[in-house]
Amino acid sequence: MGRKRAVLALEDGSYFIGYAFGAEGTTGGELVFNTAMTGYQEILTDPSYKGQIVVMTYTQIGNYGVNAQDVESDAVQVNGFVVKEAFSFYSNPRAEKSLHEYLKEYGVVGIEGIDTRALVKKIRERGTLKGVISTEGSPEELVKAARALPDISELSLVDQVATDRLYFWKDGKTDRPPEGEGPLIAVIDFGVKFNILRLLAREGARVAVVPPSEAEEAIKELEPDALFFSNGPGDPERAVQGIRLARRELGKRPLMGICLGCQILALALGGRTYKLKFGHHGANHPVKDLRTGKVEITSQNHNFAVDPASLPKGVEVTHLNLLDNTVEGIRLGEEVFAVQYHPEDSPGPHDSFYLFKEFVRMAER
């Protein structure tokens, strides 16, 4: 891998000079940092990161390569990737190529060799910042380009990652409806991660994945036993189709949401959401289940949260983040529940897998 100069320029006027890896060129987006030590391939392919440049806090990234199995979608979704040290020499019998080759294949620009500790400290203190990574142009020009980027709340990012056609899931995507007697769950795809589909199927559900724009017609045709509102990128208030659908389906069948899906259900129930200072992105966030007192170690990836004071009577807050007391789960009666964290995350803690079993049992009833 060559050592071509690259620049990361931020809207606050600061910039970092390092080396390019992956594709060459220019990319921009909102900077967030992720505290996970492993799972960079799952992070790169998580559709919830669309529109964002991800900064990894762990120092060495790429040392076990990448492969075709450990993905959460069909493509690399991040706008850019920032690491302290990108390994071009990997050691893993499952690996098929290097991180550099992988990003280059998908046209994603990365930068390494910068002080990621200083960058993360800046984001923690200032909040999320818009930035540009480039192998072209001067730092001053790139700062201007970063300032000119639109706010992520102005972008319709779900449209860029949601499926454009209905498909089914059984050990992978298929056009054939899965056989069996398990409940049929329609997953409304705002940027769904594959492991959500895997775990629903593992619990015995028949899984259909539906575009938000065609969800109403698909539900009439499929007559599913339950609806699942998936994770996804961007401001939940822009997911208008999902909010309207959730309102129409309340009381008709069980509903579950994860991440953006949690925020969509909260908005449909009459609540509000707000943007966090720098979001939650990482693999070891403690979350307390208020019903049982149990603490789960969770993986998280969200920039927005539900305002508990806005939730109407009858909507219960079920989970809290023990780091900052933000809402991590809500419930309405026995047929609507959602969590803000990612119980399906892989690699990651398995503490919350029980939620998929609970939802499939609700669909069966």
Beta-bridged to residue 132, according to DSSP, are: 9, 28
Amino acid at 18: G
8 A C-beta contact, residue 280 and residue 251: no
Question: Which positions are annotated as active-site residues?
Answer: 259, 342, 344
Residues 6+ apart with CB under 8 A from 317: 290, 308, 311, 327, 329, 330
* Dist CA 284 CA 35 (whole Å): 8
* Dist CA 62 CA 90 (whole Å): 7
* Dist CA 199 CA 202 (whole Å): 5
Beta-bridged to residue 109, according to DSSP, are: 22, 80
8 A C-beta contact, residue 251 and residue 291: no
Choose among 120, 116, 110: nearest CA to 66: 110
